[in-house]
Structure 1
Amino acid sequence: MISNLTIKNALSIAIFCFSILGFSQHNRLEKRITKAVDKHTESAIQLIKKTVNINSGTMNFDGVRAVGKLYQKELDQLGFKTELTNGDTYGRAGHLIATREGKKGPKFLMIGHLDTVFELDSPFQEYTMLNDSIMKGPGVADMKGGDVIIILAMRALHDAGLLDDISIEIVMTGDEEKSGTPLELSKKDLIDAAKRADIALGFENGDNNPKTIVVSRRGSTDWKLKVTGNPAHSSQIFTEAIGAGAIYETSRILNEFYIQLAKEKDLTFNPGFIIGGTNLNPDADGTGGHVSGKTNVVSQETIVRGDLRAVSLEQLKNAKETMKMIVSQNYPKTNAELTFSAGGYPPLSLTEGNTKLLGYFNTVSEDLGFGSVVAVNPRNAGAADISFTSEHVEMAIDGLGLTGGGDDHTINETGNLNTVATQAKITAVLMYRLVNSKF
């Protein structure tokens, strides 16, 4: 007779063996993914070089579309349904959208952008290699390297026979660096995709440190302060009839902004320019203007323009209310008006889901031998397209793109090509594990 103890022991051994087999299969599939990345890394780097040499400054619509067509061809080969949209309604080139319907697991949104800050009149048009791994080139890090990492990760999952399992929507916008207007049309495709997704992965380059990932980004909006006073001979300033003048009132307001808000963590409010005097003629594009005045005349008008960056919607709302309250407390015989631009980039708020996703990313990075990864200080990560997913997805992280370079948006922009394979491997394995509940 077989004892109950013997049966229990046999059952335990069977479960253990099954677990080992499952782990072994899981391990083999991940190795298949990483080997596929290695196999295609060189062709991915060649694609980066090719697209970096195509000018795709935001306002060069032909160039933006040309880069989009190259990426579209790559994704078509992997079985994605692709579309290059028309951006006429918001004054831009349009976006590349690619989708695949999977069999199981969460729905992923992967975010890139096709445009750069380097327009056709920029002196920075082609890449150069500073050594065997550091590429200097327009948009290499921000963010053609990140776009290609998306494609390389998809190719690795395809070669490993796993891509059919995963529901993915890729949105590469054509106006991240200079958004079209109205913003609700410019970002509609991205927001709609976020509403369909569970997890958003952004492939910007974060703070260019491969050991960091973005779990929150500050949003950005513009503000304009217009102040008026009574013009008069300077000898009459501070009198009951004339008051303090526009420039003194402007100084009071900006000083109070600083006193009341400057110490708040992760909040900034930068006045980009100020003009004031007797006769003021601002430029139509809002970047400057001309003014005249005399030392013996009380200033009649000033204009200040700046931006406001906050790490959460609540912080943004509170800052606006404080600024408006300060503006309302005018010096005698002056008047001030503060307005905020419509739209702007919302903050990517720090959430429990984002923090959990960073933990998963860190686990994969450590398991693959690439070391630990921590969260970026949000002060070191500017506004980006992933912010439009906030409040729509359960989890979101950014900074998965080409890293290890520096000086983005300048003629010294660089990227470390050694991070192409690393980021693609972590991305692909992360997606595989999330789909198959391996965390």
Structure 2
Amino acid sequence: MKFLAFLSFLFLALPAVAQTGLSAEERQIVQTVDAERERTIGLLERMVNQNSGSLNLAGVEAVGKMVRSELEPLGFDVQWVDMRETGRAGHIVATHKGDGQGKRVLLIGHLDTVFEPDSSFQAFTRKGDRAVGPGIGDDKGGVAIIVAALRAMDKAGTLGEADIKVVLTGDEERTGSPIEVARRDLIEAGRWADVALEFENLARDDAGVEYGTVARRSSTGWTLTTHGRTGHSSGIFREGAGYGAIYEMARILDAFRRELPEPNLTYNVGVMAGGTPASIDEQGFRVTASGKTNIIPETAIARGDLRSLTREQDARVRAKMKAIVAQHLPETSAELEFADHGYPPMEPAEGNRAILAKLNAVNRDLGLPEMPEYDPARRGAADSSFVAADVDVLAGLGVVGGKAHAEGEWVDLESLARQAKRAAILMTRYAGEKR
């Protein structure tokens, strides 16, 4: 019995022992996050219940006002950057001036979701520690974590000395145009910062292992248009008639499939049509075609995306794609155009790994498992990529959840507190480091 009692004592004492590496201020952060758990969930619920599809400009601005009301009492100078010239609502840029001595930290998230007002998926629902709602993980859960972390720092007295900038874009899911304007303020914030933390969904596998994201692949679009000499189908393949636009399209796409594969590279074909005639709308989302079986097709159009891990890989693969396109079948031609906007890669830099190492020191002090690097081929693009050329970045510091971009999107509410503690202590330690 004495032995069992001793084991029980050890079990109860483990959390305290595991957290002995925390300072008094950091222990106060932990206590505040736990005490404000329901407050944080309440903020998340209010944000989720306000539709903020990227094209719902009023809704995005309304969520921005909710965030403003949270940040201003913490001493942030909160600016709404209007982006209607790009066809989108705008961004929150909030700045907290500290003592100017510590590392300057940029926090990145977004206000918009993929669910527009005409979606049937509109409301927050909760069952125990699981909640469902549009954009609840991507990225309103991340925004709630940012607020919870900053509030905990404020209560612990570590926010006052911290130089922090928060940028919450209003068009992450459907970026405005021109992209140079749409991402201007985020890029400027990246040049200001010493460290950037991005609060998209946390990566966790089926075994419950949580990961740090030190790299993300790029995302850009391409349009392939092929042309053939139209005429009666009885003449196809003959000299003077050639192969037609659809065979030329098939040749190119199959060559992409066979010749391009390499690690961390994908190239999806999202939509395609061919015939006499074929066309694509101005937005590049809808293709139409008509034709008869006895007519050689005149035009074919395909649109897709390209995702790469480094700028070198991106440039090399683009060149290879263009070389494949140039090898025309008889009596055909083709043009490959890459979009002049898109997400650059967030390359796996050593500086990014250094942030993860620092976060893992926080994990050890919190009694949490260390987080390994996540496979970048399993992540999509995000706004952190726009600052990665100028500052070290750690991404994926948001909530644990699933079904992002789909009805039934959900989060594990327990992860809100865990992530807020990690972020707040990490920021506190950076604020204490001399620049």
Q: In the alignment, what sits opposite 1:278? A: 276
- Equivalent residue of 2:131, what SS? strand
CA shift, 1:25, in A, is 9.8
Quickly say closer, same or farther: Cα 1:94–1:166, change in 2 above 3 A: same
Distance 1:157 1:206 in 2: 21
Let me know the Cα RMSD of the aligned residues.
1.6
Q: Quick one: which amino acid aligns to residue 362 of structure 1?
A: N
* TM-score relative to the length of structure 1: 0.91
Q: In the alignment, what sits opposite 2:381? A: 383
Distance 1:437 1:193 in 2: 20
Distance 2:85 2:279 in 1: 31
Q: More displaced, 364-373 or 203-212?
A: 203-212
Distance 1:56 1:315 in 2: 35
Q: Quick one: which amino acid aligns to residue 120 of structure 2?
A: P
Distance 2:61 2:407 in 1: 23
* TM-score relative to the length of structure 2: 0.92
| Residue number among 320, 323, 333 corresponding to 1:322 in the alignment | 320
CA shift, 1:41, in A, is 2.0
CA shift, 1:208, in A, is 5.1
Q: In the alignment, what sits opposite 2:356? A: 358
Q: Quick one: which amino acid aligns to residue 389 of structure 1?
A: V
- Equivalent residue of 2:107, what SS? strand
Distance 2:52 2:238 in 1: 57
Q: In the alignment, what sits opposite 1:9? A: none
Distance 1:102 1:37 in 2: 22
Distance 1:38 1:279 in 2: 63
Q: In the alignment, what sits opposite 1:7? A: none
Is 2:25 the partner of 1:29?
yes
Distance 2:189 2:23 in 1: 32
Is 2:43 the partner of 1:47?
yes
Cα deviation, 1:145-190, whole Å, max 9, x if unaligned, reads 1101101111111111111211100001111111111111111110
For the Cα contact (< 8 Å) 1:206–1:381, is it kept in 2? Answer: no
Is 2:58 the partner of 1:62?
yes
Distance 2:344 2:288 in 1: 32
Q: In the alignment, what sits opposite 1:124? A: 121
Distance 2:421 2:287 in 1: 51
Is 2:413 the partner of 1:417?
yes
Cα deviation, 1:390-432, whole Å, max 9, x if unaligned, reads 1110x201111111x2100111100011011100111111112
Q: Quick one: which amino acid aligns to residue 369 of structure 1?
A: G
Q: In the alignment, what sits opposite 1:108? A: 105
- Equivalent residue of 2:79, what SS? strand
Distance 2:52 2:290 in 1: 40
Distance 2:20 2:253 in 1: 63
CA shift, 1:29, in A, is 2.1
Q: Quick one: which amino acid aligns to residue 152 of structure 2?
A: A
Distance 2:433 2:194 in 1: 14
* Correspondence list, 1:153-192, <5 A: 153-192=149-188
Distance 1:161 1:301 in 2: 66
| Residue number among 298, 311, 316 corresponding to 2:296 in the alignment | 298
Rg larger in 1 or in 2? 1
CA shift, 1:435, in A, is 2.8
Unaligned runs of 5+ in 1: 1-22
CA shift, 1:437, in A, is 4.0
For the Cα contact (< 8 Å) 1:190–1:388, is it kept in 2? Answer: yes
Give the % identical residues.
Answer: 44
Q: Quick one: which amino acid aligns to residue 352 of structure 1?
A: E
For the Cα contact (< 8 Å) 1:208–1:406, is it kept in 2? Answer: no
Is 2:358 the partner of 1:369?
no
Q: In the alignment, what sits opposite 1:205? A: 201
Quickly say closer, same or farther: Cα 1:26–1:410, change in 2 above 3 A: closer
Cα deviation, 1:283-309, whole Å, max 9, x if unaligned, reads 333223322222222221100111111
Q: In the alignment, what sits opposite 1:230? A: 229
For the Cα contact (< 8 Å) 1:58–1:64, is it kept in 2? Answer: yes
Is 2:337 the partner of 1:339?
yes
For the Cα contact (< 8 Å) 1:146–1:402, is it kept in 2? Answer: yes
Is 2:403 the partner of 1:398?
no
Distance 1:283 1:70 in 2: 37
Q: In the alignment, what sits opposite 2:247? A: 248
- Equivalent residue of 1:275, what SS? strand
Quickly say closer, same or farther: Cα 1:277–1:159, change in 2 above 3 A: same
Q: In the alignment, what sits opposite 2:5? A: none
CA shift, 1:207, in A, is 3.4
- Equivalent residue of 1:343, what SS? strand
- Equivalent residue of 1:424, what SS? helix
Distance 1:336 1:106 in 2: 51
Q: Quick one: which amino acid aligns to residue 245 of structure 2?
A: A
- Equivalent residue of 2:120, what SS? coil
